[in-house]
Amino acid sequence: MKATASSKVKPKTKASKNTQQSPKKATNAKNGAQSSKRHFPAPWSLTGEGFLFPLFGRKSYNSEMAFLDEEDRKSYKGGLGSLMLVNYERSDVGPYHELLYIPGNFEHKDTNYKRITRIFVSSQTSVDEGIRNWAIPKERADFVWKKEGRVTKIEVSRDGKTFFKIKIRTLGFNFPVSTSILPYVLLQKAEDGSKLSTAFIGTGKGKFARIESVWSDETIFPDFIKGGGMKTGIGASPFYLTFPVAELVE
């Protein structure tokens, strides 16, 4: 996901048209035809450390500030979402950092899905392949990720300007974590209007984590607390994550 200059207006993007296709493994012939560079198709296997903080989406805030387009606003239902911060130590495209925001559920044909509406990563290859494989709207940014004992400090910037800062403290003892307890099925929208569904699978060792402070420039990234965020979440180190091939959904 390419970086763009920040804007002072509330985030809006043009809604895309839906296409009617039977569920099947997704491909991106357009990108494949136009580029001869090496691609990294799904599935991906990733390991590293990270944090997940739940939110119970406030529709009044997220409808305006979570980077939803017109179609998103109509299908947005609120409910359980999350803030995630990840340090991928190994992946199919090498190590990189990630910051993402899921404002809750979006309804599509009587089924609720999660949707990543804002996401930044530190690798341009991850940007390009994330869009290509899963229609995840990644953009590139610079990360500072510092650990001092139980405290982790993370700053995210682009064009030399910091737009997100967080300080997190891990608490207590280790326990097993798995996405089977809290499954996340994503439904992302490709540029051609098609919808790609992905259910990622993860396991690892976790600890409770507490946000001690958090700030964001809302013109670039939503305010997690205003969006319905909770300051207590999970820190996982290590975790093992698989991102499978996406499926086209009618």
Q: Please tell me the predicted confidence (pLDDT) of residue 1.
A: 40
Tell me: the pLDDT tens digits for 47-97?
999 999 999 999 999 999 999 999 999 999 999 999 999 999 999 999 999
Q: CA 165 to CA 232: how far, in whole Å?
A: 16
Phi and psi (nearest 5°) for 63? Answer: -60, -30
Strand partners, 176: 205
Q: CA 70 to CA 110: how far, in whole Å?
A: 19
pTM of the model: 0.86
Tell me: the pLDDT tens digits for 109-147?
999 999 999 999 999 999 999 999 999 999 999 999 999
**Helices (H), ranges, the chain:** 29-34, 59-65, 70-75, 124-134
Tell me: the pLDDT tens digits for 165-208?
999 999 999 999 998 877 789 999 999 999 999 999 999 999 99
Query: Which of the four pLDDT bands, split at 50, 70 and 90, describes residue 226?
Result: very high
E strands, 16-127, where? 44-57, 76-90, 96-102, 105-108, 111-114, 118-121
Q: CA 101 to CA 99: how far, in whole Å?
A: 7
Q: Please tell me the predicted confidence (pLDDT) of residue 98.
A: 98
Residue 228 has pLDDT above 60, yes or no: yes
Q: Please tell me the predicted confidence (pLDDT) of residue 14.
A: 39
What tokens were used for 134?
């899963």
Tell me: the pLDDT tens digits for 17-48?
333 333 444 544 444 444 568 999 999 999 99
Residue 227 has pLDDT above 90, yes or no: yes
Phi and psi (nearest 5°) for 141? Answer: -150, 170
Using the 8-state DSSP alphabet, how is residue 159 labeled?
Answer: T
**Structural domains present in the chain:** 44-249 (2.40.400.10)
What tokens were used for 133?
């494989």
User: How many CB atoms neighbour CB 232 within 10 A?
Assistant: 11
Q: What is the largest CA-CA distance in the chain?
A: 51
Q: Please tell me the predicted confidence (pLDDT) of residue 182.
A: 72
What's the mean pLDDT in 213-234? Answer: 98
